Amino acid sequence: MKAHERLLKYVSYRTPSDENSDTSPSSRCQFELAHELVNELKALGVADAECDEYCYVYGHIPATPGKENATAIGFCAHMDTVSDYCDHDANPQIVENYDGEALPLGDSGLVLDPDVFPHLKELKGRTLITTDGTTVLGADDKAGIAEIMTVVEHINEFEHGPISIAFTPDEEIGRGTAHFNVARFDAKYGYTLDGSTEGEVQYETFNAATAKVYFKGENVHPGSAKDVMINAALVAMEFDSLLPAAERPERTEDHEGFYHLTAMSGTVSDAALTYIIRDHDASKFSSRQDTIKTAAKFLNERYGEGTVKVEIKEQYRNMAEVLESCPDAVENAKKACHKAGIEPIVIPVRGGTDGANLSFMGLPCPNIGTGGHAFHGPYEHISIEGMEKGVEVITALIKEFAK
């Protein structure tokens, strides 16, 4: 079975994770895909394939004779999707010989436009798989699963060392490694198949934190409010104005960090803002947290202690701290891209992957591209040719470590 055929099968399983749930996994629907993947792995000869109580799928492929001492490596992908645009089943559209021009997405009224997504010009002549404009596609990260499974199907056609497989839940809500068993995975290096353009080799992620900021007001009758009222909603607006406007996601790129307001609520009495804080540089990341705290201190001095309360929770760190001491993990991935006939694209992840936490859990874990684009919304799309290159890269990487 081809990788894209597997993708079309996997996206028929609706698997949104739920950030409001405190269970593991956060949504029971993820078990449906997990059990299907276990059955597939066993049918492909992965005898120990199993899904644990937390919805993590593990499997191992023994080395071919004579390669038992080769470096053990493994491949990971996540089963969940974002919950946005996921309230009904996906209806993938297949566009053969794409002409590189604006492409309507079903009857939704949305258009996949090269003026918005310039990389589309480079996909001219390929076969695209898109959404119908009403859901996510789910290529993030079911394309990664499909490419790994396709390699597993053909694993006996070439020599290889020990190979580990894992499929994880809840990556999209930052809990993809909450119950990951590194010892059970049993590999020296892991690779997440969770990137975008085929050929991406990523070993840098953001340092990441969430900041929840609470505001307590003084609510009195507006007719007698002079010098008494403290409007919590307005204090929240003032707080946001103290953060640098040029350092928002829509105004940053490459290694530039940001503050991102993701949620807000407020009345005169109470208000709340939620931010995510991101930066590749550890010292700048620390400074961003200090900026949040300094803004709160300033407003407490202006309006009274207790007006503003800040809670900051760190989520993950830049995996480059670990991977810089594992050059063969990155260099072999670059060599694999060359063997697959594509130039490696070494760029920082402007986000995070399971590999960030895994790297600090003792499993150095770069990220590799799958061929998908515009994840997390109805413009999500992937090319069949990109997926095929993804399969070639994985295969070449396995062979590289078996030398």
| Dist. CA 344–CA 335, nearest whole Å | 8
- Is 194 labelled a binding residue? yes
CA dist list (Å): 242 to 226, 230, 237, 307: 24, 18, 9, 16
- Is 154 labelled a binding residue? no
- Is 260 labelled a binding residue? no
| Dist. CA 151–CA 3, nearest whole Å | 9
In this prediction the pTM is 0.91
Sequence ranges of the domains in the chain: 3-204+318-402, 207-316
* Helical (H) or strand (E) element with 277: strand 270-279
φ, ψ for residue 365, nearest 5 deg: -150, 85
Choose the catalytic residue: 147, 153, 171, 200. 171
CA dist list (Å): 99 to 96, 122, 131, 196, 378: 9, 10, 17, 21, 20
Known catalytic residue at 80: yes
- Under 8 Å between Cβ of 181 and 60: no
Evaluated on CA atoms 128, 134, 140, 143, the torsion sign reads negative
| Dist. CA 248–CA 257, nearest whole Å | 8
Q: What is the pLDDT of residue 282?
A: 95
- Is 290 labelled a binding residue? no
Known catalytic residue at 52: no
Which residue is it, tokens 């390699």? 151
- Is 60 labelled a binding residue? no
pLDDT < 70: residue spans in the chain:
none
> Helix, strand, or coil here: 257?
coil
| Dist. CA 165–CA 247, nearest whole Å | 38
Q: What is the pLDDT of residue 353?
A: 86
Q: What is the pLDDT of residue 77?
A: 98
CATH topology of domain 207-316: Alpha-Beta Plaits (3.30.70)
Q: What is the pLDDT of residue 174?
A: 87
Tokens read off for 177: 């490694």
- Under 8 Å between Cβ of 402 and 395: no
Choose the catalytic residue: 18, 80, 354, 380. 80
CATH topology of domain 3-204+318-402: Aminopeptidase (3.40.630)
